[in-house]
Amino acid sequence: MTLQDLISAIPPLDEAAMAAARERQDQLTKPQGSLGRLEELSIRIAGITAQPRPALRHKVITVMAGDHGVVAEGVSAFPQEVTPQMVFNFLNGGAAINVLARHAGARVVVVDMGVAAELPPHPGLVDKKIALGTANMAQGPAMTREQAEQALLAGADVVRAELEKGLDILGTGDMGIGNTTPSAAIAAAITGRDPADIVGRGTGLDDAGVQHKIEVVRRALAVNQPNPEDALDVLGKVGGFEIAGLAGGILAAAANRVPVMVDGFISTAAAMIAVGLAPAARPYLFSAHHSQEQGHGIMLDWLGLDPLLDLNLRLGEGSGAALGISLAEAACKVLDEMATFAEAAVAGKK
């Protein structure tokens, strides 16, 4: 399947399923609208899945890992070797995302999109490695246009493989030391905002570190001149392999009527690439939470997404997505399992 095939396969939401879900919500034993955004969540998921009473039984969080040449510029508080170390932590079930996914009843799929180390084979690791990390975007393109497309399609392949095992909602997760820098560059390129409005502390930079990071992002944008009207150009010039994989996974989910729970800053950059490539993917997206990273609100505004939670999270890994998936499942269960006024023999509104 080509990238264009993938983009063209994304259907509009099913209006009939949404109307049926809305009608049922209005008949449930509660004042109309009293469950607020939980009602909205279930109605949109009905439209996404084309099911008036959707069930989210099979929950998957893809944690895509990749490294970044721009770490050579000193933009991260952690060394690059943490990326493969954390991949092993995911595989061993010891990271925050493993705990929160278990809590949400979701399975974690760990993907090597471009870790800068040769990882030994592991039954839980999906190998989609494009290269040993991206090039330094402060000196030239992070990857070629061909690599960007290859990474998008690899991410889509991961999601298609999970569909065969059962996939009712997708959560996006990431791992890659330095990846808030390309994410900020993507956001600045697409929105046209100054990097100073978007660049944050990442893994814990001090004020001087943040200022340096802003200058690195400005340099990357000046050197590469990414075209904001061409999301593939932006991705190739200032993106990352794991960001590309997540964007491709989002497109594949949308093409198969699967809702997507977008995690934080890095996942939202991936969502911007996906929507830049395929505006039809936008209604399939839910924002799990408002990240503590400075520019996240600007990115969410561009996407038109209202985050479900605001917990000062800034971890990534899909940690917020796991919590968002729990809310989405709760919303669908309310729609499906609550009694209507007629079923419960409860008097309705006069």
Catalytic: 39? no
> What are the DSSP E strand ranges found in 240-328?
260-262, 285-287
| Domains along the sequence of the chain with CATH | 3-54+334-344 (1.10.1610.10), 59-329 (3.40.50.10210)
User: Are the beta carbons of 171 and 261 closer than 8 angstroms?
Assistant: yes
CA atoms within 13 A on the CB side of 292: 10
> Residue 233: phi, psi to the nearest 5?
-65, -45
Radius of gyration of the chain (CA): 20
Residue pointed to by tokens 């399609």:
153
pTM, to two decimals: 0.98
Q: What is the rounded distance in angstroms from the CA atom of residue 314 to the CA atom of residue 107?
A: 21
User: Are the beta carbons of 266 and 202 closer than 8 angstroms?
Assistant: no
Q: What would the pLDDT profile of 40-92 be if each residue is shown by its tens digit?
A: 999 999 999 999 999 999 999 999 999 999 999 999 999 999 999 999 999 99
Which of the residues 73, 149, 317, 329 is marked catalytic?
Answer: 317
Name the token pair of 93.
């079930």
pLDDT of residue 349: 78
Query: pLDDT tens per residue, the chain (350 residues)?
Result: 899 999 999 999 999 999 999 999 999 999 999 999 999 999 999 999 999 999 999 999 999 999 999 999 999 999 999 999 999 999 999 999 999 999 999 999 999 999 999 999 999 999 999 999 999 999 999 999 999 999 999 999 999 999 999 999 999 999 999 999 999 999 999 999 999 999 999 888 999 999 999 999 999 999 999 999 999 999 999 999 999 999 999 999 999 999 999 999 999 999 999 999 999 999 999 999 999 999 999 999 999 999 999 999 999 999 999 999 999 999 999 999 999 999 999 998 77
pLDDT of residue 350: 75
User: Are the beta carbons of 285 and 262 closer than 8 angstroms?
Assistant: yes
pLDDT of residue 203: 83
Q: What is the rounded distance in angstroms from the CA atom of residue 45 to the CA atom of residue 17?
A: 9
Q: What is the rounded distance in angstroms from the CA atom of residue 218 to the CA atom of residue 259?
A: 34
pLDDT of residue 348: 81
